[in-house]
Structure 1
Amino acid sequence: MSKPESPSLGINMLGATEATEEVLKKFRQLISSAKDVWGLLEALDYLEASLAARPFSAPLINASRELLTVIAHGEYDNIPRLKELVEENVEKLLRRMIEETEAAAEIAARRLENGDTVLTHSYSRSVLRTIEKAVAMGKTIRVIVAESRPVLDGIEMAKALTKLEIDVTLIVDSAMRFMAREATKALIGADAVTADGSIIARTGAGLLALAANESRVRVIVVAGTYKFYPETVYGLMVESPALQEEIVPESHKKLGIKGYAPLFEFVPPHLIDALATEKGLIAPEAVPLLVKEEFGEWPPRLESLEKLFTKAREELKKIGAKPS
């Protein structure tokens, strides 16, 4: 299987929640400012391109499905009404992400003990809010943060943590195994929680989980259920976005050296001790139960995004064809 082309980093620079918020707000702005059906179709093109840029982002996938369902099957007969529906649903989705992130972080924070040393990597709002809440509870927490190459968003995480006036140590990714022996807990954010309880996260999460398991350190993934990715019950063939020539020094490119740095990876459930969600602390094996609770059946029957995009475009064209 060939490696994917290097993406423009764009939303891949952000955490999963921040990336989804940015896309939703931009999509809302494009819909709101559209002067005709062609403007609305351009908004759909933007949403589709964003999904292609970050194909593992369950928050973005789930939010897109809800918005596309509104457009493809919604009750509207003119553009102003459609704009109202999109505005209402974007607000609802943004509010849900905030509420579930806060609740999941609260659950995880209560599992941290005074004096804990937390090992983490990359930038995750869910993990950041967990530590912020633990500190607000009066707990003394030390954090070890891996830099998370090639994006280096672990450095941004370390900066954010310093505002809490706690002990923060930034390490290179290759030192995670060495430093795991100093940790008492490991926290990971996620782009997605798959049907079998695996997670998809920034590359390096697997190394962190392996190192933590070797050192008998509990691994807790902080993720609201808006990050659950039920379609993965049927498998997932999409490859991770990756950087290629961007990571190779110019002097080395002349020697014909190629680069490859995947931005996301799978972490299997046997390396995860628990998932902290807004519904409580659960074992990875319990994910199907929560998915069934959310969708009413297991496995869930969901209309594909490809079909929803097609139907949404057809509905918009019908609106455009109506006499003004």
Structure 2
Amino acid sequence: MTERQVMDRLTELRTAIAENTVPGGSAYGRAAAEIIALTLAAREASGPDLDVLLRNTADWLVETKPSMTSIRTVTALAARTLAGDQSRDAVIAAMRQFIADSEASIARVAEHADTFVEPGAKVLFHSYSGSLIQILTRAATRSADLTFLLTESRPYRESLRIVEALKELPVEFVVYSDASMALAAADADLVLVGADALFRDGSFANKIGSLPLALSSRLAGTPYYVVTEMSKLYPGDPDDVAMEQRPEIELAEDWELWRSGHVSVRNQFFERVPADLVTAYLTDEGVLTPDELALRSSVRQ
């Protein structure tokens, strides 16, 4: 890539992260890895200057998307690599390897469709996830007569983006409002959601609405599966990971009462779901119960 192409790509990636348009938690990790690789490649830094450059880049990534633990995994990997090798090229190579490993992991996650999505099933999903796209695509190409149920996932209505991506598949789509997700859970045979963070107590975080959907699934007796890469597993204190708050204007831009200051808006974008509401995690390392996920976390600390 030319210097101009590198800078254009960096601007594109940083804008996508800042504006919340990266397609899913795994993709955020890959975007962060690419930003680190391109940033180091574009600067002739070494020694203490290289350390400062990497730390500043990592701080911006984590502060901009605090709920995305895949980004924390990437920045920790970059820091360990630099501490052990003191080489810019080694960090760049580690970032490129992370991207390749992540893409391979998503393919392994998709293989769970063969076991968990049976012909004729009604599969409910919420929000947008690259892992969800992969597993739903595989399910639709291997099982007949599927129906994909989806909640809107406001305010961006991310679930509809999955329909756009899968619209050529031979499946029926049924959309439910977020407020009717209890009805959707009762109509479904199973629920699939992605994850933006995995925690050492077996819980996870995902787009807002994932918790009421889990509660609705518990009430309806519908299995609730989380489709995810294990690179999102954060071995530290779950409270370290803040649940991102988005600007109020995203929910109330055209509401005069908000503009006049009569009403304030809380636009929390992610939330944690307790371990006891999860049936199983469908991961690149196999099918894990919440307890097994917690055990993996203790081993990685």
State the TM-score, normalized to the length of structure 1.
0.80
SS in structure 1 of the partner of residue 149 of structure 2: strand
**Per-residue CA shift, 1:146-187, capped at 9, x if unaligned?**
121123212212211213232112322112112222100100
1:58 pairs with 2:63: no
1:155 pairs with 2:160: yes
Q: What is the distance in 1 between the residues matched to 2:97 and 2:17?
A: 28
* Match among 27, 34, 55 for residue 25 of structure 1: 34
Per the alignment, residue 187 of structure 2 pairs with 182
What are structure 1's unaligned runs of at least 5 residues? 1-7, 77-81, 301-324
SS in structure 2 of the partner of residue 60 of structure 1: helix
SS in structure 1 of the partner of residue 201 of structure 2: coil
Q: What is the distance in 1 between the residues matched to 2:240 and 2:285?
A: 29
Q: Which region of structure 1 is more displaced relative to structure 2, 268-277 or 153-162?
A: 153-162
Give 1:105's aligned amino acid.
A
Residues 120 and 143, structure 2, Cα contact 8 Å, conserved in 1:
no
> In structure 2, do the counterparts of structure 1 residues 146 and 281 end up closer, same or farther at CA, with 3 Å as the change threshold?
same
SS in structure 1 of the partner of residue 116 of structure 2: coil
1:141 pairs with 2:143: no
**Per-residue CA shift, 1:102-159, capped at 9, x if unaligned?**
2122124421111111111110111111111112223432111112112321221221
* Match among 258, 278, 292 for residue 272 of structure 1: 278
Per the alignment, residue 260 of structure 1 pairs with 266
> In structure 2, do the counterparts of structure 1 residues 69 and 146 end up closer, same or farther at CA, with 3 Å as the change threshold?
same
Residues 109 and 131, structure 1, Cα contact 8 Å, conserved in 2:
no
Q: What is the distance in 2 between the residues matched to 1:173 and 1:251?
A: 24
Q: Which region of structure 1 is more displaced relative to structure 2, 22-31 or 9-18?
A: 9-18
Residues 12 and 19, structure 1, Cα contact 8 Å, conserved in 2:
no
**Per-residue CA shift, 1:289-309, capped at 9, x if unaligned?**
22345x3xxxx2xxxxxxxxx
Report which of the two structures shows the higher radius of gyration computed on alpha carbons.
Answer: 1
Give 2:197's aligned amino acid.
A
> In structure 2, do the counterparts of structure 1 residues 100 and 12 end up closer, same or farther at CA, with 3 Å as the change threshold?
same
> In structure 2, do the counterparts of structure 1 residues 113 and 226 end up closer, same or farther at CA, with 3 Å as the change threshold?
same
Q: What is the distance in 2 between the residues matched to 1:263 and 1:217?
A: 25
1:240 pairs with 2:248: no
Q: What is the distance in 2 between the residues matched to 1:139 and 1:130?
A: 15
SS in structure 1 of the partner of residue 56 of structure 2: helix
Per the alignment, residue 282 of structure 1 pairs with 288
Q: What is the distance in 2 between the residues matched to 1:262 and 1:184?
A: 29
Q: What is the distance in 2 between the residues matched to 1:101 and 1:194?
A: 19
SS in structure 2 of the partner of residue 262 of structure 1: coil
Per the alignment, residue 13 of structure 2 pairs with none
Per the alignment, residue 130 of structure 2 pairs with 125
What are structure 2's unaligned runs of at least 5 residues? 1-15
**Per-residue CA shift, 1:230-265, capped at 9, x if unaligned?**
113xx4154322124312234122152111111100
Residues 113 and 135, structure 2, Cα contact 8 Å, conserved in 1:
yes
Residues 121 and 148, structure 1, Cα contact 8 Å, conserved in 2:
yes
Percent identical pairs in the alignment equals 21
Residues 188 and 220, structure 1, Cα contact 8 Å, conserved in 2:
yes
* Match among 58, 67, 77 for residue 47 of structure 1: 58
SS in structure 2 of the partner of residue 243 of structure 1: coil
**Aligned-pair distance for 1:267?**
0.5
**Aligned-pair distance for 1:47?**
2.3
1:36 pairs with 2:33: no
Residues 135 and 164, structure 1, Cα contact 8 Å, conserved in 2:
yes
* Match among 206, 226, 234 for residue 231 of structure 2: 226
State the TM-score, normalized to the length of structure 2.
0.86
**Per-residue CA shift, 1:205-252, capped at 9, x if unaligned?**
1111111111111001111211211113xx415432212431223412
Give 2:78's aligned amino acid.
L
Residues 17 and 28, structure 2, Cα contact 8 Å, conserved in 1:
no
SS in structure 2 of the partner of residue 13 of structure 1: coil
RMSD: 2.1
